[in-house]
Amino acid sequence: MTPKKSTSQTVTSFDGFSIAVVIPCYNEGQSIARVVQEFAAALPEARIFVYDNNSTDDTVAKAEAAGAVVRSEPRQGKGFVVRRMFADIEADILVMVDGDNTYEAARAPVLVRKLINEGLDMVVGARAETKEAGAYRPGHKFGNAMLTGFVRTLFGHGFQDMLSGYRVFSRRFVKSFPATSTGFEIETELTVHALDLEMPCAEVQTAFQDREEGSESKLRTFSDGFRILWTIAKLLKRERPVRLFAALASLSMLIAIWLSLPILFTYFETGLVPRFPTLIVATGFGTVAILAVAVGLILDTVTTGRREIKRLSYLAVPGVLAQLEKAGQPKPNLPGASAKVVHSRGLH
């Protein structure tokens, strides 16, 4: 909580909190300078870090010219970049944003203020489409709504825009996040991590604008959408195994009952057991149902142990309110404190 000297390896202090803006980038030369400049203006004492992911254009040169500290991650994929950023940067608060200039930089102080004043661990900039035509492509909008709905159903309510790339994190979120994703599914993993540990989080509505002309989105609607779906399935197995395997057991048992009922009716009427192959298949589905229940219960024991370890790692890092109390400071009055929070939603 003590102010730090500004060097390429440190993050400057902001009312007692060190804040870093981290920007994952791949071929964003057309917009990165504007993003760096706008966030530097919105959070003037924050340090701006750009993490280049093998760009082949002038992203690095323009980011450096705009005043950012530029670092690189050679493993291709946004998940690798986020993993590297979270490991490298030491700051009380991290502001993560994409380098495509589609997010509202002026809203950053409001997100930071909300995180500090309410003692949160993550604030998501929920995208609200501007009047510009095409700012939020229909395929992306539908996919986001569908995937967010899946996560809300499977892991709990709390987020309306799960795939937003504009987020503010506390140190204890960053240092307790065991990232495993490699690509654009990283936002799904961030969301499920918060839901699984029941962290205090919120959303604040922010404007979402179209990319600059000539700039191309790196998100592939269908292929990345399927990867996110697969990630949700893996996270369900990892974090909610009883729910997954109970569903599989129920399906197998229903099939077993459906196949065996005609055979049972015939047996009660005639005393004979016809269609032995069908009976064998029904018995197989019944066995699968029993095994699915057993696997679910075993994995749930493992998951409970893992969740306890993650929770202890999370609690080992002081939250923002604890840092304020330790420093004997009142809640800071961050820039933009008078701005109205249009929308916010805490987790249940």
Q: Which residues, in sequence order, are CB contacts of 287 under 8 Å at separation 6+?
A: none
Percent of the chain with pLDDT over 90: 50
Query: Which DSSP string do the residues of 71-121 spell out, in sequence order?
Result: EE--S-SHHHHHHHHHHH---SEEEE--TTS-B-GGGHHHHHHHHHHTT-S
Task: Give CA–CA dist 308/198, Å, rounded.
Answer: 12
pLDDT in tens, 204-245: 999 888 766 655 666 666 676 788 788 888 888 888 899 999
3-state secondary structure 279-290: HHHHHHHHHHHH
* DSSP assigned state of 308: H
**Whole-structure pTM over 0.85, yes or no?**
no
The secondary element (H helix, E strand) that includes residue 52 is strand 47-52
Looking at residue 319, what is its pLDDT? 87
Closest by CA position to 169, among listed 86, 87, 100: 86
pLDDT digits 0-9 by tens, 284-331: 999 999 999 999 999 999 999 988 998 998 999 988 888 877 766 665
Q: What is the DSSP letter of 297?
A: H
Q: Which of 111-115, 198-202, 236-240 has the lowest mean pLDDT?
A: 236-240
Q: How many Cβ atoms sit within 10 Å of the Cβ of residue 243?
A: 14
